[in-house]
Amino acid sequence: MLKDKVAVVTGASRGIGRSIAEHLAREGATVIINYNGSADRAREVETGIRENGGKAEAIQCNVADFSACEAFIADVIKKYGRIDILVNNAGITRDNLMMKMKEEEFDAVISTNLKGAFNCMKFASRQMLKQRSGKIINISSVSGVMGNAGQANYSASKAGIIGLTKSAARELASRHITVNAIAPGFIRTEMTEVLSDSVKAAATAQIPMGTFGEPEDVAQMTVFLASDKADYITGQVICVDGGMAM
């Protein structure tokens, strides 16, 4: 379905990003596994994809760094000649109640989650405009749709991604570039595994389907949006959350 496509997935060394990278590769895309700190894990994802007959390369870049992003995207284009799919998944949390939140906790989350998505979109979309085609998929969150106590920074960054998605979708639509967002709910990853049993129980009680999702649930939606089956879908926010944000 994605044969000969070149896909960049940020924050792809674990969790949702890893699953997205693996699913895109399974559909035939050459996947650039972006990571910031966890080189060993990124290489593990790369090796796994290659052992299963796919094409992948792990490349380090801190997406919050504007100049580093420009160089990263330029390197991908130089080596592979094009970028067909960009998945902005890189994200961090620095949870705290707003009254206790430090400036650096707010800035760090906005810089990685929101500015990081802007940086990658800015430079990748240049190439997509030349190609007159492209798919951009931004990973938002149910927290960006509903808000979440203790996550003012994270919720603001993920709500910002929704605004960024819709604005970019309007700007790029005439060149056959679609821009959509996925807003996952509680997904079973390392990020949610550290939650206490009481927090998990409270979260589950808010989910009509009564269970956490799996990374594959988000990955499969990403593959669909990256494919030509979704050519007439742009500017949308699709909740993969078991009904949580209904």
How far are the Cα atoms of 44, 70, 79, 172, 244 from residue 76, in angstroms, in the given order?
20, 10, 5, 21, 37
Cα–Cα distance for residue pair 179/173, rounded to 1 Å:
8
Token readout for 199 is: 């927090």
Q: How many CA atoms lie within 13 A of 81 on its CB side?
A: 3
Output the CA torsion sign for 27, 28, 34, 39. Answer: positive
Catalytic residue, chosen from 35, 80, 154, 232, is 154
User: Catalytic annotation on 154?
Assistant: yes
Among candidate residues 150, 144, 167, the one with its CA nearest the CA of residue 234: 167
% helix, strand, coil for the chain, step of 5? 50, 15, 30
Q: Active-site residue numbers? A: 154
